[in-house]
Amino acid sequence: MSAVGILVNPRSGSDVRRLLTSAGSSTIEDKVSILRRLIHGAAEAGAEHLVLTRDPFSITRRAAENLQLPIKIELLDLPLHHTERDSADAAQAMRDAGCGVLVSLGGDGTNRALALGWPDAPLIPLSTGTNNAFPIHVEPTVAGMAAGLIATGAVALGAHSARSKVVAVAVGGDKPGDVGAESEDNTDLALIDAVAVNDPYVGSLELFDPETMMVGVFTRADPSAIGFSGLAGTVLPCTSHEERGVVLEFLPPSQDPARVVRGALAPGWFASIGVARSRYLELDSPLEMAGPCLLAFDGERSRRLHPGQTASLRVVRHGPRVIDVGAVLLSGARTGAFELGVRDLEA
């Protein structure tokens, strides 16, 4: 019997794209409701121990109040830095607390930070962000049930999950990246895309100006997704199951690129993107980038490459172990995990 960890990013679904596009918001009340449904689902499936972390908006405390469920709820009180480090630290703490499955509430950026703290986390990523190519859309109650079945051992993790691809980044040179507090290390990763942009300004972190895009490396290119993964999918589709990634070299439409495509870079917001070249990138094959440029990971500017610095990017299957919620529930149904015994009925 292992614990279920639930990681909540209180700021997901509330960035600047609400002002500039038609993206919807995920409010604090929404997250409290989602978390309560997750807890009920996990408890119903037999989970006995739940691990949460405290947050500045008291989402976890409010969701855990007055539940009256037969489940132990542990709140970890971790220092807050109000950066992606909070999600990374929370994931690491949940691993250390013995969680056998982790559920995340956030977007691509939240799950990227989680993977920095716990690279091979057994994960159910629920979407509460904006441009979400990595998280899934599923009713939280059902996600909680799947987490509970994995935590209790009623359904085997290995048979219903798979390691995800990431873009592994190694930076070389004399000067470390200077954009964020997390950029002191010379290694990094992206779950969906790593894009080099010609932009001297960090701004709001989110990418918006397609004229500045230089090169992108993608673990998946899905034309049904919103954001850069969706854009790449209209040029050279690549699923999460394929043992390769995609490279796009960009050129502004005004400079006569080989192709110009229209892409939904945010909900309700389209842009014309010039593509000079596109190709598949086999697993563990390096792509070299040279500064000066900004590197954006999963849609957010994260690192600056100065003149003389380089970055080597590889698509590798070293990411979180993503759990197939539907397959877990189907397996549980076939093995009688939801049937009540005589003793249960008498109780």
Domain spanning 3-164+320-346 has what CATH number?
3.40.50.10330
Angstrom CA distances, 77 to 53, 60, 277, stand at 6, 11, 48
- pTM for the predicted model, two decimal places: 0.89
Edge to edge, what strands does the sheet with 187-190 contain? 187-190, 166-172, 310-316, 287-290
Full pLDDT tens readout for the chain, 347 residues: 799 999 999 877 555 454 555 555 678 999 999 999 999 999 999 999 999 999 989 999 999 998 889 999 999 999 999 888 999 999 999 999 999 999 999 999 999 999 999 999 999 999 986 667 899 999 999 999 999 999 999 999 999 999 999 999 999 876 554 444 344 579 999 999 999 998 765 544 445 577 889 999 999 999 999 889 999 999 999 999 999 999 999 999 889 999 999 988 888 889 899 999 999 999 999 999 999 999 999 988 788 999 999 999 999 999 999 999 999 999 999 999 998 754 454 44
> Angle at CA 200, nearest 5°, toward 86 and 287?
75
Whole-number pLDDT of residue 205:
44
> What is the pLDDT of the chain when averaged over all its residues?
88
Taking the CA of residue 70 as centre, how many other CA atoms within 13 Å lie in the half-sphere pointing to its CB? 5
Angstrom CA distances, 208 to 22, 42, 120, 158, 304, stand at 14, 38, 31, 39, 17
Using CA atoms, how far apart are residues 147 and 166, in angstroms rounded to an integer? 23
Let me know: does 34 contact 142? Beta carbons within 8 Å: no
The count of other CB atoms within 10 Å of the CB of residue 308 is 12
Start and end residues for every CATH 2.60.200.30 domain found in the chain: 166-316
3-state secondary structure 202-235: CCCCECCCHHHEEEEEECCECCCCCCHHHHHHHH
The b-or-e profile of 69-97 (16+ CB within 10 A means b, else e) is: eebebeebeeeeeeebbbbbbbbbbbbee
Using CA atoms, how far apart are residues 105 and 86, in angstroms rounded to an integer? 13
The count of other CB atoms within 10 Å of the CB of residue 181 is 10
Whole-number pLDDT of residue 337:
94
Using CA atoms, how far apart are residues 34 and 6, in angstroms rounded to an integer? 11
Whole-number pLDDT of residue 306:
92
Q: What is the dihedral of CA 161, 162, 167, 169, to 10 degrees?
A: 90
- Assigned superfamily of 166-316: Probable inorganic polyphosphate/atp-NAD kinase; domain 2 (2.60.200.30)
Q: DSSP characters for 127-161?
A: E-SSS-SSSB---HHHHHHHHHHHHHTSS-SGGGE
Kind of pairing between the strands at 122-127 and 321-323: parallel
Whole-number pLDDT of residue 18:
45
Whole-number pLDDT of residue 184:
54
As a residue count, the chain comes to: 347
Start and end residues for every CATH 3.40.50.10330 domain found in the chain: 3-164+320-346
Which one, of 10, 2, 46, lies nearest residue 28 by Cα? 10
Give the three-class secondary structure for 100.
strand
For residue 212, report the phi and psi dihedrals to the nearest 5 degrees. Answer: -90, -5
For residue 36, report the phi and psi dihedrals to the nearest 5 degrees. Answer: -60, -40
Whole-number pLDDT of residue 21:
55
Q: Reduced to 3 DSSP states, what percent helix, strand and coil does the chain have, rounded to the nearest 5? A: 25, 35, 40
Using CA atoms, how far apart are residues 276 and 163, in angstroms rounded to an integer? 32
Rg of the chain taking only CA atoms, in angstroms? 21
Tens-digit pLDDT profile for residues 211-247: 889 999 999 999 999 889 999 999 999 999 999 999 9
Which one, of 157, 263, 264, 275, lies nearest residue 216 by Cα? 275
